[in-house]
Structure 1
Amino acid sequence: MMDNKKHNFSPHPSPLFKFGQINVNGLCSPVRQQHLLNFFLHSSFGALSVNDTCLSPSNAKFIFNNEHSQHHFRSYWACSSSSRPHDGVGILLRNPLHKHVQTIDPWKGHLLKLDLFFHQTKISIISIYYPPFGSIHQTICNDLIAKLLSWFDYARIHNYFVIILGDFNIDEVAHSNYPSSHFKLLRLLSSRFFTDHQAHSSLDGPDPTFFHANGSSRLDYIWSSPGFPAPGLFSQMVACPNLLDRPFTDHKVLTTIFDFSSCLAILAKSRLKQKKEMRTIFSYTSTSVEQWNNFTTEVDNSFGVYLDKQYHSNLDFSSLSLDRMWHALKAAILSAAIEILPFQKVSNTHRYSYSPELTKLIAINKFLDRFLYRLTTRHPNRPTQFSQMITALPSYLENLASLLPDYTVPTYSTTPVSVFKLFLRSQKNLVSAFLFTKFAQHLSDSVEYYTALRDEHFRTCSAPLLTQPYQLKNQAAITHFQSIVSPSLIHYSSITSFPVRWQLAYTPFLTCPPHYMILFWHLFPCKNGLM
């Protein structure tokens, strides 16, 4: 991190992280590995639990190593030395979560635990593959439960919070005729008051995650321990894209959005005092048309002045190396932004801000989560907290009514408790659905979304697109930029081949030469957070 005398233009990430769980049906093929990586990156997962990898220790040792620094994530694997089918689990963690990993604990290709340390908060993320019902798996299932119990006891003693994701191979409805021992894992989590996030967000029953010729079952789960510091906002099912026109897996992906703002917002005061770390944030939403015009003019002027000063004015600038043109353009853009665009200096405790409407929705969702937790865990020695929540409930429902034009506060009764819980769960489902819509809208308005959209619809690191091949004399520059730009999906060879809407959206500098604009589009947003 740079000190307060210099500028750091990297965008600060949102504290809302998408956690996902997927059974991949094998991950030995490089093609399947690349497909999973593309899905992980383009779906903006913060954490992804992967089961049934079938990876050997030698194969897992090098998987995604070349992509870690390029795409700012880390992968962790637990492999089995035996040849049992369906063994192998893994966890993919995106920045900044992977920076908090302190310990890695794999177990026999069925369990993988990562301990993350935040200031004053410790979280264990566990990926699990629980074998299907059958006597041949009885020993490994018993050993797995014993290992989980030891981890849970350690977490309780040392004040860890736990989130567990995995393929449990258990469906209480579809497997209702199985013996009670088959449901030992679910009974364990329920007895310790863990939250089943998919069931918690569904009034009509959770959707199935596994599909086969004779029907479907719910086999994949995401659970969190009581009082988990990152509240689960909502859960949903998504399908992994097909691979070569065939299904990548027979499982759907279970996702849950968690709000980590309370974990990330707490930094050690001694660190802030000693390093005096600060960031520069450009207020692009408050930039006027006049400021954008002045910014454009200043970029053109300073770019030309720099090139005239460094090189002869009668020189054909297109013959310069790619490195020199890029650094000149970057210096011109940054200096013009600091001089013209509105910005503010903030400390590292400053976190991603949301609209008042979205903030109010998150607060309502957290309150309903806490209320349902109190009703579920039944604390008879805390009647005061229960009474305070009942008193506060009408004000939260009134706030919800102010956000939803067609919503009126329904009549409800706090007795019996079972009926009251159904009422709270229905309001929780309503808030989760509305929050999902508003959060999607928020993403569509954010800079990060448009940067990701550019990565999805524009081909990068293509020599004809950057400049003519005979102009690229520095092979090191090509290698450098190919290593920092994300994978491409669609190829465009020139500006005129772009769709009309993209031509309009990506032409902010009318006076800038086209080959400089192309350079700016594909390189600057990847390295800086200005656009």
Structure 2
Amino acid sequence: MDINNTFKITTINVAGLNTSLKQEQVLNFMKINKINILGVTETKLKNSIVENLYQNEKEYTSWWTCDDDNYYSAGVGIIMEKAYAKHVQTKDLFKGRLIHLTMFMKGKIRLSIILVYNYANNTQKPEILELYDKINEIIKSERKFQSRIIILGDFNINYEEFLEKQRKNLSIPWKLNLFKILNNYRFKDTNTLFHTKPLSTWRRNNAASRIDFNWVNFELIPDLIYASTNKVHIFNTDHSAVTSYFSIDDIFKKPQMATNRRHKVEKIIDYSKITDDQWKTFTEQSELILEEELKTLKIEECPTTTTLNRVWNSIKQIINKAKGHLPTKKPHPNKENLPEAVFFYKKKLRQLSLISMKLTNKKIKDLTNPDSTYNFIKQYYDAIMELMQRLQIQRKPLLEMNIKEFKDLIIDLFKITQIKYVEEDDLYKEEQIKYYVDKRCEELQDNKKYMLDSILNRKRKKIILDKVLIEKNGQKQLCTTDKEITEAMIEHYRNVAGKKVNDGITMNDRWQRQYAPKDDIDKDWYNAIVKEITEEEWKDTIQELAKDKAAGPLKVSNEELKHLGVNMTALTLNSQFARNEKKLLMVSGANFKNVKSSHLPIQIMRFLYH
């Protein structure tokens, strides 16, 4: 089996993640090696820093925990492809030393990932034993659900020493008890399953040891294909990366929908750039498309939920077709693009990292032949020449170099590019700091709430319904596709409504008075909802709608409604549907006391598509 086409889980002690260059290179390491989940230990960061780390990354989601009191010797994080991150249901963070993620995979399988960074100093015995108790507690709890468990990270203890003590029937030192816990629960070290003498994972001067591990429980072994230990090469650390390779035919099969969504480039209409002529074209196009739609759209039918939905779906489709020529932009306009120089050197760092990892001492032996050297250099010729011209570096023609000369060039370019990237990135950060300081001063006068939110580090909380956990036949199941989520929500609201919680309970006098009709409510206020909406009222209401607002579920914006043609406006105003929509008054839950009486149906209609 091709190990390149597998699900890869890797752990690496990065020996500090406190520079933007190293943060970028860690991501490059993931992308080049096609790692799906990366466990990072010894980040040496504070919680205030990791809150924003990789938050703008489109392909990855990350979780972090730090110890602010001892940050320089702690900190762990898990970086995961977003296609898999949507399966994460729970997280447990522990004192900058442990992250526990629970994932509900396809086939009702529960996967538990535990990342550990053990204390190196033996004088911290109480803290170490507390960490071991936490690991034991998690494993014990997950076994009740028959979870498949992987424990990875920097254990800071030597497994060979444990085996030697066990073989000689000697007393096991207290710090090695973690291996005893794992053995008791039938966990296996993935490297020992494939290598009789696994490589050391830590080297400093003449000392070496194997202290970084991936351990899996017995239930996960059938999915395991291979395990390896490899040097990193593209950033500085005294540890090697430990990787476990799993089959993608079963629980690690990537959701195709998530992959397609990730590569889809979303665009939104840029209303600030639309000219009067373009709006005129939009109006004309919508009228022409409507003329064709009317041949099949039976609006004369008695208004029902089905016919109402069909009409509004047609309106949406007509508007979407008509706005195809309007100028677009990428979403999130408040996110600033990186300066050209930062983006350029960031891109070159990734290219040079890829080339460097193909020019290791082991791999370079296959490139000594002149033809293979020529072909290898040729595939990277354009990228290298672009960088050399930017840096104004003159060297021997690339295609005339031998592989050693080319490797020396790559090493030099790599060092120079790192320096240039740091310089440009620092300049960009200085400009950003100055910009936001000035902005905060402006907001002190114009927008005090925003300024206080920024100073107090208040986070905007929101709910994203991209997964739903349900219980079916006594088993918990995670719904991740649009169809599954929709069906689960329909089933929930179909069964949850109508239940009489207080059935048979008699209310006391106080609550009877509370639910009695209110004297300050005039029932005549709502008489106007039976009136039909006039064309003038409809147009006035549409023109008063605010600009630059979110389009809502139907993706029809206020600007587009304002530029509809005569026939399209008439369709949205169809009196049969307007009359029928008075039933939606209670659903909207709005207070219409101060709304112009004749505008009530319009407000209800507005609720329909927003």
Greater relative contact order: 1 or 2 (C-alpha under 8 angstroms, separation 6 or more)? Answer: 1
Normalised-by-shorter TM-score class: 0.3 to 0.5
- When normalised by structure 2's length, the TM-score is 0.41
- When normalised by structure 1's length, the TM-score is 0.47
